[in-house]
Amino acid sequence: MTPLPPAADVAPQTAPTAPTASDGTMAPDAVYFEVLGNGLLYSINYERFLPRYSVGLRGGASFITYKVSSASGSGNLTLATLPLVVSYYWGSPHHKVQLGLGATVLYFDASSDSTGTKIEGAGTGLNVAATGVLGYRYMPHDGGFTFGAGFTPLLRAVKGFLPWGGVNAGFAF
Amino acid sequence: MRLPHAARVGALLALLAAGGTACDAITSVIVTGADFGGATADAHCDRRYVAEGGQASAFCQEVVGTVAASQFSDDCRNKFQATPGAGLCPRERIIAGCALDKKTDDGSKVWDWYYDVSDVLADAGPDAGPDGGPTFAAPVPTDVSAVGAVCADRTRYEDGAELAFP
């Protein structure tokens, strides 16, 4: 019977591997739909998580066009938003408190009446609003359903402070 | 166990009321967001100045904070042959106005401002309207108390209106 070599002489059976999702790190990407929130009325978002820093970088977009007047020849109103948010995540592996800051680029074009005249209020055209997030997010380790909710206020020079909130759900991978 | 009829009707009405309230709340939230995005505006429809064949009236209607300014403008022109514009009604020669109590879908506020049109009547006469009719459709209030009476007229303002000043 051959004696076993000392433990220190035993070569590792497998090479060390990079941490995987099941090792306790969060799934690195997510796409989700948010109702209200930083995108104002809704937004479709992509978020890239940087687990080493517990940070998420999010970009989103929304677009609405709507014919206000039923008169022939009238135009549509258009509202587009691009929320851009950097968030810090803190908490247990699955349940995170989200603290974020960012900006929402807003574009609004008033609808025209049947003569082509646009009656515009304050804040039309291209603008930027400051925004933030204080919320909760569920983070699946191996990818899958993710959701969150939070307080998502916005601030614009011409419109002031908007206490706002949002809920979102999507898929992490 | 079956609920008594009155309880079932009560539960149904409560459910409908809750549904209506929820619908109003959702609309209010959407309008608030749209307003923040820049979607609301003020507009007016000056009924004193009408296109050929239109019947003038002695007031201007203004709507504040509406998301439907283009519809308001088209209605002004197409239904009344009147003169739409951006912003509030002209303030010159206003006697008083009526702040309408009617609840609008977009949470906007509506005022009808009545004008002293004696100068127009002096120039054009009382029967310069379509087909020799009145220059201005009734009512043509000439003082504050007359405007107050118009505001209180529930056949004109079904949901009520309060006397207002610019």
Q: Which of A65, A122, A125 is nearest to B35 (CA)?
A: A122
Structure tokens at B118: 């004696």
| Residues A91-140: tens digit of each pLDDT | 998 899 999 999 999 999 988 998 999 988 888 899 999 999 999 999 98
Structure tokens at B100: 């309408």
Q: pLDDT-derived band of residue A66, with 50, 70 and 90 as boundaries? A: confident
Q: Which of A29-33, A50-54, A152-156, B156-160 has the lowest mean pLDDT?
A: A50-54
Q: A40: distance to nearest CA of chain B, Å?
A: 6
Set of chain B residues whose Cβ sits within 8 Å of the Cβ of A113: 69-71, 73-74, 77, 84
Measure CB to CB from residue B36 to each of A70, A110, A154 and give the nearest one: A154
pLDDT of B104: 87
Q: Which of B96, B85, B80, B92 is nearest to B62 (CA)?
A: B85
Taking the C-alpha atoms of residue B68 and residue B43, their distance in angstroms, rounded to an integer, is 9
Taking the C-alpha atoms of residue B52 and residue B82, their distance in angstroms, rounded to an integer, is 10
Measure CB to CB from residue B70 to each of A111, A121, A122 and give the nearest one: A111
Taking the C-alpha atoms of residue B91 and residue A83, their distance in angstroms, rounded to an integer, is 41
pLDDT of A14: 45
Class of domain A26-172: mainly beta
Taking the C-alpha atoms of residue A106 and residue A41, their distance in angstroms, rounded to an integer, is 11
- 3-state SS assignment for residue A41: coil
| Residues B143-156: tens digit of each pLDDT | 999 999 999 999 99
Q: A96: distance to nearest CA of chain B, Å?
A: 27
Scanning the structure block, which residue is given the tokens 């310069």?
Answer: B128
Residues belonging to chain A with any Cβ–Cβ distance to chain B shorter than 8 Å? 36, 40-41, 68-71, 74-75, 77, 79, 81, 106, 108, 110-115, 117-125, 127, 129, 154, 156, 158-159, 162, 164
Task: Name the residue in chain B with its Cα closest to that of A64.
Answer: B34
Q: pLDDT-derived band of residue B15, with 50, 70 and 90 as boundaries? A: low
What mean pLDDT comes out for the span B87-93?
Answer: 96
Structure tokens at A147: 């959701």
